[in-house]
Chains A and B, each alone.
Chain A
Amino acid sequence: MTTIGVLALQGAFREHIRSVEASGATAVIIKRKEQLETIDGLIIPGGESTTMRRLIDQYGFLEPIRAFANAGKPVFGTCAGLILLAGEIDGSYDAHLGLMDMSVRRNAFGRQRDSFETDLDIKGVADGYNAVFIRAPYIERVGENTEVLATYDGHIVVAQEDHLLACSFHPELTKDHRLTAHFVSMVENSKRTLAS
């Protein structure tokens, strides 16, 4: 059975758990770094990126998550999670996990009153996907090994770099589990590759 952990320091982790389970994998809440050893893939959920970074530091998650990803295990960052994965934030290289070659802008669509939902086509994953953007970031630029899977209004909102996946919106807030299912299949593939 494929086990996917959801980093549960703050934010919408329970919804991710439900979404992972609906996609046919086992989901566990991750509150301590030692638990990373028990999972095949990790989701970093939406929440407040500043708050999450502080808690990541406090509980010594930074290096263990980097090591987890560098060992080839898939990581999926949504909204705040995308910000944590990015190598460049708001034009500064003072990144958090810095795992993905992309530059992101925080609160890029504006304040809460500008938050919105829309229907997106995600390349190779889903058409007409109900995407919920909440004080969302977008990706300004991706490196040459990072594939753009979806854009909205000319801005990149889903990107994948090998076993790392990031999106600006909240796949956990709707009953449309297709993007989570895509991540689950990434984890299943990596599990097979890592085992062989």
Chain B
Amino acid sequence: MKLSGFNTPATLTPPPMTEAWRFSNIAGQLPAELRAATATKTNADVVLSGGLAVVNQLPAGIEVAAAKSESTSDFWATLPTLGGRVHLKVTHSPERPLRVRIARDTTSADEATLAQLLIEIAPAMKLTLEQEITGSSAGLTATQTTLKLATDAHVDHAIALLEGAEALHVAGFHSELAERAQLSQTFVVVGGKMTRLQVSAHMNGAGAHASLASITALQGKSQVDLNSSLRHNAANTTAKQLAKNLLDGESKAIFTGRVYIARDAQLVAAEQMNRNLLLSKKAHAIGQPQLEIFADDVKCSHGSTTGQIEEDAQFYLLSRGIPAERARALLTKAFIAEVIHNAPDSLRGFLGGRV
């Protein structure tokens, strides 16, 4: 595949399909030539669009560092590094959220936004991050967002990913947590022909905590494949994950949740839940938890439910005079609201406005 219009012109060979990508063979659908999409201008603090990165302003306490890339042979890890790159350091807790916008404003299948964002958070500092990733009717967005949390650092991160009907999307979110660092990530995902989310959190320091929640709302023939990996590399680390999918039309959601607990990582608590609400007969959900536990003193739970709106809940609303259509709408809204309600206070407004 030939890439043009990006910082580094390159020719890359899309990888053959592997087991991990069997539901979402995005590499197999890429065009022979991919051009940088025309950059979108917005007033967000950081804008990544087409092949460009623009820093408009930054809240006090955050500074720009020289972008660097670690060389990798992985196709999907390399692709974002060819586009706009921003490396930030949070040296003091900013008083307001950092707003990052990744945009692709194109209608053509051979146009793309490639972007890489790296944020390092200094010890004991707190960052609230609002990240909006928007696409349009067609094209590709491939991004990588990396967060490195030092000891006692705290990040509240909200991601709203809104894609167009024919768009392809691969978004990586990788976090590394030192001792007692705390990460909360809430995802709202809407639409897209095929979206692959690769979410990983490595809890490398004792006492680190990661909390991940996502709500995906799909209709038509949209498909979202959430592939997550939570690695407990140290003792006393805790993680909580809630992955919800609301599926209408002929849409499809895949959730693969890997939980890895290293041999020495005792007293780990890991909780994982996957819930799917099917609004139509042709909607489809696949859930596959993967637990790799090598320590013996751990608390680990996981579960998956798939169903339609419960008859008892529906009847409860009917029995109070609420008509069937409205009862269904309320229960659907409630399914989404659980994720929003559980998000940190400061991010609820941002997330609620984007579902």
- Answer whether A and B are interacting partners: no
